[in-house]
Copies of this chain bind each other. A is one copy, B any other.
Amino acid sequence: MFYHIKELQYQARPERPDPLLAKRLQEILAGKFGEMTVAIQYLLQGWNLRGDANSKYKDLLLDTGTEELAHVEIVSTLIARLLDNAPWQDQDAIAAQNPMVGAILAGMSPMHAIYSGLGALPSDAEGYPWNGRYVTATGNLLADFRDNLAKESGGRVEAARVYESTTDRGVRDTLAFLIARDTMHQNQWAAALSELEENEGFVAPGTFPQERERREFSYVFFNFSRGEQSAQGRWARGPSCDGKGVFQYVTNPQAMGEQQSLPPAPPYIHDTPP
């Protein structure tokens, strides 16, 4: 259960309205790596986590997911303020007087006026709605925390790019806070992963016995694109990261199966007759 207070976790005060920056910030709010994704992802991972022995991870997830809800609030506020007084009325006349404003009107998200009335949207910078397939919550924390680390990495890359796109000191200040939190969260998931990997081994899921996999292919690199630059990396030779094998490099990979073919379909399916 949640309680809300109306104070923001961190301030969100642009120096001036900027509808194009508002559009770019939609990616930070509700893009694949956005605040909505991590909020719902961490909460759902927490609520779905099984086994009381895992309660410290459950707490970790719910702590962080609850903070991300505060980030959703911050970025929503930032977007709404960047839309203050957007020059929507009689666009032709405005654009004729001022090509610069014309370009802004041409480039701003039309839904920011028509659909949300100068408010934030649960959509990314292209207007594509946030959707639940962004959320990773597999029940296996090794897999989940790697996805969390990836999301915070993608998220910090995106926030850095939006930061570069503006000189608005207020927006930069808020982004500097969010970017710092991404730094923490990258560190945090890596710390948690190091614990899990110590207990379960490196390969996820750690519970699937390696005897069951075709182990002769578990540490082999196949060179399917002509040119052998890929032979220069740590993945091509030496001990594997899980400490259980040795990387091999196969320069000319060969097919091991037969020609692909299928028997005819029964007549009631009306496929092409054989």
Contact = CB atoms under 8 A, between A and B. Distances in A.
Contact of A93 (B140, B156, B167): B167
Residue of A44, A104, A162, A172 with highest tally of chain B CB at under 10 A: A44
Given A12-B257, A49-B262, A99-B99, A208 B226 contact: no
Number of copies of this protein chain within its complex: 6
A164 to B, nearest CB: 4
B179 A224 contact: no
A131 to B, nearest CB: 4
A24 B167 CA distance: 29
A38 interface: no
Interface in A1-21: 1-12, 18, 20-21
Interface in A166-217: 166-168, 172-173, 176-177, 179-181, 183-184, 186-192, 194-196, 200, 202-208, 210, 212-217
Contacts of A85: 265-266
Contact of A121 (B132, B150, B183, B228): B132
A230 B60 contact: yes
Interface string A148-160: 0110011011101
A74 B214 CA distance: 15
Contacts of A150: 136, 143, 146-147, 149-150
B263 A84 contact: yes
Contact of A129 (B30, B58, B73, B131): B131
Nearest to A91: B165
A22 to B, nearest CB: 11
A133 B187 contact: no
A144 B270 CA distance: 13
Contact of A263 (B51, B58, B63, B173): B51
A137 B116 contact: yes
Nearest to A219: B184
A161 B88 contact: yes
Contacts of A258: 7-8, 11
Contacts of A47: 73, 76-77, 80, 119-120, 260
A265 B205 CA distance: 14
B180 A157 contact: no
Interface string A92-103: 110110011011
Most B Cβ at <10 Å: residue of A32, A117, A213: A117
B130 A157 contact: no
